[in-house]
Structure 1
Amino acid sequence: MAQKAAKTLATRNSAVLTRTHLISAALHILFLFLHQIFHRPRSLKPYFLLAVPTLVIEYYLDRVGRPRYNEDGSLRSAGEDLNATGLTEYMWDILYWTQGCILAVCIFNDRAWWLWAVVPLYSVYLAYTTVMGVKKGFAGMGGGNRAEGDYEGAKSKREMKKEKRGDRVKVRTR
Structure 2
Amino acid sequence: MANSSQKKIAHENSKTLLALRKGFIWVNAFYIFYRIIYHWSTFSFKLAAGYTITAGITFFLYTQINAMSQPRYNTRGELADAGQDLSQEGLVQYAFDIIYVTWFVHVLSAFWSKAWWFYLAIPAYAGYKAWHLAIKPMMARSGLGGALAGVANPAGAGAAGAASGSADGAKSKRREKMEKRAEKGPVMKYR
Matched, 1:150 2:163: no
- For residues 37 and 68 of structure 1, the distance between their equivalents in structure 2, rounded to whole angstroms, comes to 44
Aligned twin of 1:172: 169
Q: State whether residues 72 and 81 of structure 2, in contact with CA within 8 Å, keep that contact through their aligned partners in structure 1.
A: yes
Aligned twin of 1:165: none
Distance change (3 Å), C-alpha of 1:153 and 1:77? farther
| CA deviation profile, 1:8-36 (whole Å, cap 9, x unmatched) | 11111111111111011100011011111
One-letter code of the match for 2:114? R
Structure number having the greater helix percentage: 2
One-letter code of the match for 2:121? V
One-letter code of the match for 1:172? G
Matched, 1:62 2:63: no
**Helix, strand or coil for the counterpart of 1:76?**
strand
Aligned twin of 2:130: 127
Q: State whether residues 54 and 102 of structure 2, in contact with CA within 8 Å, keep that contact through their aligned partners in structure 1.
A: yes
- For residues 29 and 76 of structure 1, the distance between their equivalents in structure 2, rounded to whole angstroms, comes to 37
One-letter code of the match for 2:5? A
Deviation at 1:97, TM superposition (A): 0.8
| CA deviation profile, 1:87-131 (whole Å, cap 9, x unmatched) | 22211111111111111112x222111110111111111111122
Q: State TM-score, norm by structure 1.
A: 0.75
**Helix, strand or coil for the counterpart of 1:150?**
helix
Q: State whether residues 54 and 95 of structure 1, in contact with CA within 8 Å, keep that contact through their aligned partners in structure 2.
A: yes
Matches within 5 A, 1:2-17: 2-17=2-17
Q: State whether residues 161 and 169 of structure 2, in contact with CA within 8 Å, keep that contact through their aligned partners in structure 1.
A: no
Aligned twin of 1:38: 39
Instruction: Quote the RMSD (CA, aligned, Å).
Output: 3.1
Identity %: 26
**Helix, strand or coil for the counterpart of 2:157?**
coil
Q: State whether residues 83 and 89 of structure 1, in contact with CA within 8 Å, keep that contact through their aligned partners in structure 2.
A: yes
Distance change (3 Å), C-alpha of 1:150 and 1:68? same
Aligned twin of 1:91: 95
Distance change (3 Å), C-alpha of 1:117 and 1:152? same
Distance change (3 Å), C-alpha of 1:171 and 1:26? farther
One-letter code of the match for 1:150? A
Deviation at 1:37, TM superposition (A): 1.8
- For residues 104 and 67 of structure 1, the distance between their equivalents in structure 2, rounded to whole angstroms, comes to 35
Count residues with an aligned counterpart: 157
